[in-house]
Each structure stands twice: as structure tokens, then as C-alpha cells.
Amino acid sequence: MFDTMVITKAVAAFCGALLVFLLGNWAATAIYVPRNADAPQAFVIDTGADDVADEAVAELTFEEAFEIADASAGSRVWSQCRACHALEDGRNSVGPHLYGIVNREIGVVDDFNYSGALNQAGDVWTPEILSAFIENPSGVTPGTSMSFRGITSVEDRANLIAYMESES
């Protein structure tokens, strides 16, 4: 039933139909494109949308963001920290526990071997120092063994610190 000639005819019919559609597309594009399609726009209607885009949105400082921080929003950000840290007192994991981290001395968690780089950050984990550390851990303490890339959003950092403070 299917010999070489039948298969050749079917392939030739398919190729012929494809050629007809491609030539039809080429002809329709040539016929129905207006001559001045690339011409500049004749007039512009001002909708005011450009005025809104031109206004620069003021970036919150950390102090302002921390004043209005939402601890419940910080619980969603906490999921990034949960892989290596715990909020239960005394439960160390890959990283030290973060129970009571706000205003706690740096590098004083018992039974955890800190990298020596953390001694350079300051005396106490203030919210400002925590924010800088969470934004770029290796930038604040070069040589730290924490391989986290950081959180760039000021609001997310403030919410996270508020969450950690509320859970302690």
C-alpha cells in the first residue's frame, strides 16, 4: 500500500502547500503594509503618564523602614534564613540560633564556632548593623563563612529584623 512513490507524493504535497502559504504571506505583507509605516508619529496625545514616571520615588532609609516595619511580612522573608538558622534559644544549625539577636553581643552564642570575621562588625547587633550585614554579609565582614547573597530591599530587611525581634 505505502511504497516509495506514495511517500514521495505526500512529502511533495506538504512542501508544495508550505511553499504556497509562504508565498501568500510574502505577497500579503508586500500588499497590505502602508507606505508610511516607518514615518514619525503625526501627533501625540498627552495622557500625563510620563509625568508620573519622571517623579523619582524616594528610597526609605533603614531607620524610616524599621519604624513602619511589619513583623508578619518579615515571616515570609524569614524563609530564606530558616535553612541555616533557628529562632529557638540554644538550637544551633549550620548557623547560630538567632533568638534574641537584636542588641545581643556579636559572636557570643555558646556551642557555635564563629568565623573570625564577625569580630570586626561591632560590639552589639543593633538593627542598623544587622541590616548592613543582611544586605551584604561578605561586604560587611570579609572572610565570613556565611555564603548568603544578601537581601537588597530595605523594607524586607526591616521587616525581617522586626520579625526576629518579635519572635525572641
**Grid coordinates 526591616 are at which residue?**
158
Q: What is the pLDDT of residue 39?
A: 81
Claim to verify: residue 142 and residue 125 sit in the same structural domain: yes
Q: Is residue 67 pLDDT above 70, yes or no?
A: yes
CA distance 66 to 157: 8
Query: What range defines the domain where residue 121 resides?
Result: 62-167
Claim to verify: residue 88 and residue 144 sit in the same structural domain: yes
Q: What is the pLDDT of residue 17?
A: 97
The string of pLDDT tens digits covering residues 87-139 is: 888 888 888 888 888 888 888 787 888 776 665 445 788 889 888 888 988 88
Claim to verify: residue 100 and residue 70 sit in the same structural domain: yes
Claim to verify: residue 152 and residue 87 sit in the same structural domain: yes
Claim to verify: residue 118 and residue 50 sit in the same structural domain: no
Claim to verify: residue 43 and residue 79 sit in the same structural domain: no
CATH number of the domain at 112, please.
1.10.760.10
- Residue 35 or 165, more confident: 165
Domain tally for the chain? 2
Claim to verify: residue 35 and residue 75 sit in the same structural domain: no
Claim to verify: residue 26 and residue 108 sit in the same structural domain: no
The string of pLDDT tens digits covering residues 11-65 is: 999 999 999 999 999 999 888 877 777 788 888 888 877 655 555 566 788 888 8
Query: pTM value?
Result: 0.62
